Amino acid sequence: MRIVFKPLGILFLVVLPLCIVIGVVLVQRQQLQAKEADLAQAHAAVLPAASTAAVHDSRPIAIPDGVYRIKAKQSGLYLGCRNASADPNVDGHIDQGPWLKGPHQKWRFIRLADGSYNIQNTLHSFWLDDTNASLAAGDFVRQWFEVNRTTNDAQKWLLIKQKDDSFQIRCVVSGKVLEIHGAAKNPGALVYQEDWQEKENQKFVMERLED
């Protein structure tokens, strides 16, 4: 018996497999999109979206080398070596006070190849230093003699800009930041290192002076 295929029958035989293939592709695509959405949701649950401030706060930036005064944002007072000390062994503390235009309140920033800075007080040329390279929060910082400042991480500092254009000043060796101890607003309050907590007493304004 001879089988005769009509044109419509032939078209059906061609179109049907094509429709099946297209249907399978569409189903697979929907399944893939659903898996991608599930993965994105799971990733968001494990890693909560960082705030704009947190992202902004993580990036050290460069400022031009030169002499600056460092103003504590919360108190409006300026950092200086206490009592204009000429001997860090006797008094190496850093405190805050009103602007007196003295060299003990002026700081020379020198950028290093790794992006960190040495910060030198201009009075007697001592260097901002994490005391004894302490890793602990709550220890005071000081001015100190030069100790291989290009390799000594206790005398290297990162500047991390905030959204309000202030800076956190972070020690390379400890990862701690400068803060005015106790959030004090009075002259004479000392500078310590602490964990970064986005507090106002941990923010400083850099004001460029004549070199």
How confident is the model over 50-71, as a mean pLDDT?
73
pLDDT at 186 over 60: yes
Flag whether pLDDT at 56 surpasses 50: no
Write the burial class of residue 54 (CB in 10 Å: 0-12 exposed, 13-18 middle, 19+ buried): exposed
Identify which of 161, 195, 155 has the alpha carbon closest to the alpha carbon of residue 175. 195
Q: Of the residues 26, 48, 70, which one is the last residue of a structural domain?
A: 48
Residues 6 or more apart whose CB falls under 8 angstroms from that of 49 comprise: none
Q: With pLDDT > 70 as the criterion, what percentage of the chain qualifies?
A: 73
pLDDT of 59 reads 77
pLDDT of 23 above 90: no
The range of the structural domain enclosing residue 85 comes to 54-208
Per-residue HEC secondary structure of the chain comes to CCCCCCHHHHHHHHHHHHHHHHHHHHHHHHHHHHHHHHHHHHHHHHCCCCCHHHHHCCCECCCCCEEEEEEECCCCCEEEEHHHCCCCCCCCEEEEECCCCCHHHCEEEEECCCCCEEEEECCCCCEEEEHHHCCCCCEEEEEECCCCCCCCHHHCEEEEECCCCCEEEEECCCCCEEEEHHHCCCCCCEEEEECCCCCHHHCEEEEECCC
Counted domains in the chain:
2
Looking at the structure, tell me whether residues 71 and 163 fall in a common domain. yes
pLDDT of residue 47: 32
pLDDT at 48: 35
Q: Quick one: 148 and 191 in the same domain?
A: yes
Per-residue confidence (pLDDT) for residue 210, from 0 to 100: 85
Q: What is the pLDDT of residues 75-131, one digit of tens each?
A: 999 999 999 999 999 999 999 999 999 999 999 999 999 999 999 999 999 999 999
More confident position, 191 or 15: 191
Q: 118 or 8: which carries more pLDDT confidence? A: 118
Residues 164, 142 share a domain: yes
Q: Are residues 104 and 169 in the same domain?
A: yes
Read off the pTM.
0.73
Looking at the fold, whether 130 and 173 belong to one and the same domain comes out as: yes
Spatial separation of the C-alpha atoms in residues 208 and 63, rounded to whole Å: 10
Lowest-pLDDT range of 2-16, 136-150, 191-205: 2-16
CB 201 within 8 A of CB 74: yes
